[in-house]
């Protein structure tokens, strides 16, 4: 019978085999860290020495210097939905593959959308403030609940979170409509969605503006609720504030510009005109908000850490990148079959003993030169694959038959000298 041969480590230029190195500078749940160590990865304290990083929001990889200080870095896993803290073009130029972990955040973020909708329709904030002030407002129009069964829910961005929002919140409404930048069945134009919707949920990916001043002014319904759990930049906040002041629009936000800076929510001086837009919205009677905590519970954070750790282990053990082929990253899905060994030891199947992982510029002739390096060293390529990303980064995987260590060291040296090779590793497997 066949069994999967075991990854032993990466070959060094001196002929040693060392464990793959990972770092988690933003912290990692202990159980996720254990997943890395159980897979024989070395967790290093200094990110500059790591081949892979697991990051959250704190670490910023937005400038060339961020990558220049991490010369060994080949893979970054963002434990979370967004990748705003990674510049994909800079990562590509540095020969770094990227991935995020959107799956585990889907339900808690959709649940936060639902919580905002229920709090708005039940007038929770208004009732709480009235009771806190010592009044009994029953019968007051300001605390009269809103019946959702004759209202329309509009979802902007019908990906994982948008679909989950429709699944758990949609049954409360008389109608649910959605739009998406992709051409998907059932989607309606954004302008038409705004015309119809009493509640608008922003579930788009990326940070490009979507709800502009013109759209909000022309098409948003009076007294609508706008929920944003995506990114602050997808809505023109100045225009949203105008609609809150003039047309009874409510805003429920979990995301803000300049997050982590409390001064954005405080008056800059005694002059109210110097108050930030964010502060004005936060103080508005039609505001509901949370400080970007939709997916911050400990269970979700643990699961996000698990998913990120899985992606790192896949790359460490097999060279696999972006197995779910998530869009927006430096590379698409790239993988080879896992190395197999013949458990009967009968010699019918000779597994590759080494896998060469090369991150290189996507230029004409690069892949041919990589094959040429193997040919020059009289090495047989058992199987290979390669793919390129949107920013001229490519990756090639090559399985090679059993080769002497000194020849592999020579191959490492040849890869180092190739002008288009950015990062490389040679993985060693047991028989």
Per-residue pLDDT tens digits for 33-49: 999 999 999 999 999 99
Residue 270 clears pLDDT 90, i.e. is over it: no
User: What percentage of the chain has pLDDT greater than the value 90?
Assistant: 81
DSSP code per residue over 84-117: TTB-HHHHHHTT-EEEE--GGGHHHHHHHHHHHH
Domains 2-100+298-429 and 106-289 share a fold: yes
Residue 246 clears pLDDT 90, i.e. is over it: yes
User: Quick one: pLDDT band at residue 80, thresholds 50, 70, 90?
Assistant: confident
- Could you give the CA distance from residue 395 to residue 367 in angstroms, rounded to a whole number? 9
Residue 354's φ and ψ, nearest 5 degrees, are: -140, 145
The pLDDT assigned to 265 comes to: 74
Domain ranges of the chain: 2-100+298-429, 106-289
Residue 187 clears pLDDT 90, i.e. is over it: yes
| pTM score, whole prediction | 0.82
The pLDDT assigned to 273 comes to: 59
CB 98 within 8 A of CB 330: yes
For 106-289, give the CATH class: alpha beta
| 374-402 per-position pLDDT tens digit | 999 999 999 999 999 999 999 999 999 87
Residue 423's φ and ψ, nearest 5 degrees, are: -135, 150
Residue 341 clears pLDDT 80, i.e. is over it: no
Q: Under CATH, which number does the domain 2-100+298-429 receive?
A: 3.40.50.720
Residue 349 clears pLDDT 60, i.e. is over it: no
CB 76 within 8 A of CB 55: yes
Least confident interval from 60-64, 167-171, 191-195, 239-243: 60-64
Both tokens of residue 189?
A: 């134009």
Which residues, other chains included, contact 217 with Cβ-Cβ below 8 Å and sequence gap of 6+? 239, 242, 243
Among left, alpha and beta (phi > 0; psi -120 to 50; other), residue 306 is alpha
- Could you give the CA distance from residue 237 to residue 227 in angstroms, rounded to a whole number? 12
Residue 335 clears pLDDT 50, i.e. is over it: yes
CB 90 within 8 A of CB 62: yes
């Amino acid at each position: 019978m066949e069994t999967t041969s075991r990854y032993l480590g990466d070959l060094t230029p001196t002929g040693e085999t060392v464990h793959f190195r990972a770092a988690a500078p933003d912290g990692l749940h202990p159980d996720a860290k254990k997943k890395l160590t159980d897979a024989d990865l070395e967790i290093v304290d200094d990110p500059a020495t790591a081949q892979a990083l697991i990051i959250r929001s704190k670490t910023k990889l937005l400038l060339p210097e961020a990558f220049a200080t991490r010369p060994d870095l080949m893979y970054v896993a963002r434990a979370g939905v967004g990748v705003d803290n990674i510049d994909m073009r800079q990562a590509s130029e540095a020969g770094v593959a990227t991935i995020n972990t959107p799956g585990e955040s889907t339900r808690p973020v959709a649940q936060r959308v639902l919580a905002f909708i229920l709090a708005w329709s039940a007038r929770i904030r208004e009732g709480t403030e009235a009771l806190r002030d010592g009044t009994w407002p029953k019968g007051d129009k300001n605390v009269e609940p809103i019946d959702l069964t004759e209202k329309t829910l509009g979802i902007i961005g019908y990906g994982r979170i948008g679909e989950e929002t429709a699944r758990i919140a949609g049954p409360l409404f008389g109608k649910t409509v959605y739009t998406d930048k992709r051409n998907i069945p059932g989607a309606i134009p954004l302008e038409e969605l705004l015309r119809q919707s009493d509640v608008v949920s922003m579930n788009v990916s990326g940070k490009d503006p979507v709800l502009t001043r013109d759209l909000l002014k022309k098409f948003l319904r009076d007294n609508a609720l706008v929920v944003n759990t995506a990114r602050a930049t997808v809505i023109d906040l100045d225009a949203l504030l105008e609609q809150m002041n003039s047309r009874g629009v409510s805003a429920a936000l979990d995301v803000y510009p300049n997050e982590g800076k409390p001064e954005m929510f405080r008056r800059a001086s005694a002059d109210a005109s110097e108050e930030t837009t964010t502060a004005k919205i936060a103080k508005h009677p039609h505001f509901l908000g949370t400080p970007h905590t939709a997916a911050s519970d400990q269970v979700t954070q643990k699961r996000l850490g698990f998913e990120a750790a899985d992606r790192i282990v896949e790359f460490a053990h097999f060279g696999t990148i972006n197995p779910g082929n998530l869009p927006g990253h430096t590379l698409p899905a790239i993988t080879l079959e896992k190395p197999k060994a013949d458990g009967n030891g009968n010699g019918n199947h000779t597994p590759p003993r080494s896998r060469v992982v090369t991150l290189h510029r996507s230029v004409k002739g690069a892949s041919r030169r990589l094959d040429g390096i193997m040919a020059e060293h009289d090495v047989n390529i058992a199987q290979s694959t390669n793919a390129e990303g949107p920013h001229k980064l490519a990756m090639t995987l090559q399985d090679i038959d059993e080769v002497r260590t000194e020849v592999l060291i020579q191959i490492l040296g040849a890869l180092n000298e190739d002008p288009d090779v950015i990062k490389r590793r040679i993985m060693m497997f047991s028989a």
